[in-house]
């Protein structure tokens, strides 16, 4: 790899994006690629501390703009401490959620406005947008059904179904707005098929980059 590659994965809660990407990362590592998997909110010590505050189910009084700013703050710290240094070492960085999550969840679903949330994030990311984003498409209700049996649901997971439906709509708008960057995978396919499609998208991008 001549230069680093910045990939992000996105989707509604319960889309299976984490399982699929971790499966593919193992394959890529076995093939000799230098891959770093990381996630948001969190991914560095300070960012993980911010994650705890954001996702704590007891923080019911959190204002929606505070929430958006905390996600952006966590993102900034993670970018500076983890993502940019790894890209500088020419790694493939796979980040589980990034700015599109803030656009879909805070911008669209919370109703702050996608442009407004993008502008506070621009302060945090300073034009460091992903080279490729994979969106795992699933109906919001089906996603929630998949995570219903999980023990540790966070403050966002326990939001209403109408909130999660708006998240899905927000993502769909982003897919339509950025078709070059955001590629869609049907997350209702079998785990094997989702992993295969994920691998194909990543390897195509890797080949473009050599
Ligand atoms: P996770 O379940 O993928 O770890 O993400 C935690 C929750 O945070 C999930 O419900 C999505 C939400 N989220 C946002 O609302 N905005 C963001 O910017 C990010 C990164 C996550």
Residue 9 near residue 97, CB atoms below 8 Å: yes
Residue 74 near residue 42, CB atoms below 8 Å: yes
Q: What is the chain's length?
A: 210
Q: Which residues sit with their C-beta closer than 6 Å to ligand 1?
A: 13, 40-41, 55, 71, 97, 101-102, 105-106, 154, 156-157
Cα of 117 vs centre of ligand 1, distance in Å, is 14
Q: Residues 144-181: pLDDT tens digits? A: 999 998 888 899 998 999 999 999 999 999 999 999 99
> In 113-190, which ranges are continuous DSSP H helix?
114-125, 140-147, 161-177
- Separation between Cα atoms, residue 84 and residue 82, nearest integer Å: 6
Atom 8 of ligand 1, residue of closest alpha carbon: 156
- Separation between Cα atoms, residue 205 and residue 188, nearest integer Å: 23
Cα of 58 vs centre of ligand 1, distance in Å, is 16
Percent of the chain with pLDDT over 70: 99
Atom 7 of ligand 1, residue of closest alpha carbon: 156
Which among 62, 65, 101 is the best mutation to test ligand 1's pocket, defined by most ligand atoms within 8 Å of the CB?
Answer: 101
Tokens coding 21: 């990407």
Look up the CATH architecture of domain 5-208. 3-Layer(aba) Sandwich (3.40)
H or E element in which residue 197 lies: helix 191-208
Ligand 1 atom nearest residue 167's Cα: 15
Phi, psi torsion values for 129, nearest 5 degrees: -95, 155
Residue 5 near residue 206, CB atoms below 8 Å: yes
C-alpha distances in Å from residue 186, one per residue of 95, 102, 136, 181: 19, 21, 6, 17
**CA-wise closest residue to 156 among 16, 53, 48:** 53
Each domain of the chain, given as residue ranges in start order, spans 5-208
Atom 13 of ligand 1, residue of closest alpha carbon: 101
Residue 210 near residue 1, CB atoms below 8 Å: yes
Cα of 108 vs centre of ligand 1, distance in Å, is 14
Which among 48, 82, 105 is the best mutation to test ligand 1's pocket, defined by most ligand atoms within 8 Å of the CB?
Answer: 105
Q: Residues 48-95: pLDDT tens digits? A: 999 999 999 999 999 999 999 999 999 999 999 999 999 999 999 999
- 210 has a pLDDT exceeding 90: no
The whole-number average pLDDT for the span 184-194 is: 98
């Amino acid at each position: 790899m001549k230069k680093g590659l910045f990939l992000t994965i996105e989707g509604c809660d319960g889309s299976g994006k984490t399982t699929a990407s971790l499966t593919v990362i193992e394959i890529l590592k076995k093939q000799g690629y230098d891959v770093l998997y990381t996630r948001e909110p969190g991914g560095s010590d300070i960012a993980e501390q911010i994650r705890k505050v954001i996702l704590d189910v007891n923080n019911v009084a959190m204002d929606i703009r505070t929430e958006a700013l905390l996600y952006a703050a966590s993102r900034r710290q993670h970018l500076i401490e983890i993502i940019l240094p790894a890209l500088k070492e020419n790694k493939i960085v796979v980040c589980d959620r990034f700015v599109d999550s803030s656009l879909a969840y805070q911008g669209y679903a919370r109703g702050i406005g996608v442009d407004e949330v993008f502008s506070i994030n621009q302060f945090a990311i300073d034009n460091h947008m992903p080279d490729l984003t994979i969106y795992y498409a699933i109906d919001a209700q089906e996603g929630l059904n998949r995570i219903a049996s999980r023990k540790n649901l966070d403050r966002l997971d326990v939001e209403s179904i109408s909130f999660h439906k708006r998240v899905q709509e927000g993502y769909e708008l982003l897919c339509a707005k950025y078709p070059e960057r955001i590629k869609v995978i049907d997350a209702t396919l079998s785990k094997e098929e989702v992993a295969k499609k994920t691998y194909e998208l990543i390897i195509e991008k890797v080949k473009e980059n050599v």
